[in-house]
Amino acid sequence: MNRVTPMLGGLFLMLAMCLSAAAQQPGPVPGNVPLAPAVEAPAKVPKNLLQTFYDGGPLMYPIALCSFLVVMFTCERIITLRRSRVIPRDFVTRIFEQIREGQLDREDAIALCEKNGSPVAIVLAGGLKKWGRPAVEVEQAILDSGERVCNQLRKYLRLFNGVSQVAPLFGLLGTVMGMISSFQGISGSAAAGQRELMAGGIAEALITTASGMFVAIPALLAYLHFLSRVDYLVTEIDSVGQRLVDLISADGLERAARERAPKKKAA
């Protein structure tokens, strides 16, 4: 017992000295994770549009072609679908007044329409060829001509619809290719360069996706706008054609002759 007591006292003394030394040394604060040494972030290098295009990979070329087609045919449709070009107001007013007053016969009216060459003139020319026939025949001729004109007015609209569907697919394909390239590079590289390879692949994927949507959205909006524009113009042409039916059908010519008869007698 006498021997054990000095041994326990020595052990307690050594334990107290160790705890005192540990308390004096600085250590990590409980609950906090030691911070890694700060690494200076690389300076951001500004990129121009051309460099971003190259970073997007090979799928950016068909997306750029889609963008060029949308811009070119949007300008073409804006010029072609002007109301003054499709339905010239002065021409329509003049030809109806001359027919109503009896100043134009069938051949002269057809020649005047062919000379004008506008879509509404083509429709009127189709109806004028049935001059003096029943209203059903005149109306059918106008409908046939109107259908051909409508197809001409809808020209290139499918292109806008096609681009709005194909461009996002190109962007999605670029996304998949970028991710595949990224993971293939990571699997065959050292740990030090994996982050750079991953960043490059993700950048390519995001650029192609954004570019595809950037082209598809305006293409879809242009398609919807021009489609509604064509529908409006076709409705206007149909209204003009119905006015022609009332003038040159057998019933219309007979009615016009009765209206002009009292004027001649009065003169």
Q: What is the DSSP string of 200-264?
A: HHHHHHHHHHHHHHHHHHHHHHHHHHHHHHHHHHHHHHHHHHHHHHHHHSHHHHHHHHHHHHHHH
Query: What is the predicted pLDDT for the residue at 77?
Result: 94
* Mean pLDDT, the chain cut into blocks of 10 residues (267 residues total): 43 43 44 45 53 78 93 94 93 91 87 92 92 90 92 92 94 83 66 59 78 93 96 94 89 74 57
Structurally, how many domains does the chain consist of? 1
120 located within any domain: yes
9 located within any domain: no
174 located within any domain: yes
248 located within any domain: yes
Q: Are 138 and 204 in contact (CB under 8 A)?
A: no
2 located within any domain: no
Q: Rounded distance, CA 104 to CA 136, Å?
A: 22
Cα distances (Å, whole numbers) of residue 127 to 7, 108, 194: 126, 14, 73
130 located within any domain: yes
21 located within any domain: no
3 located within any domain: no
Domain holding 165, by residue range, is: 49-266
pTM over 0.85: no
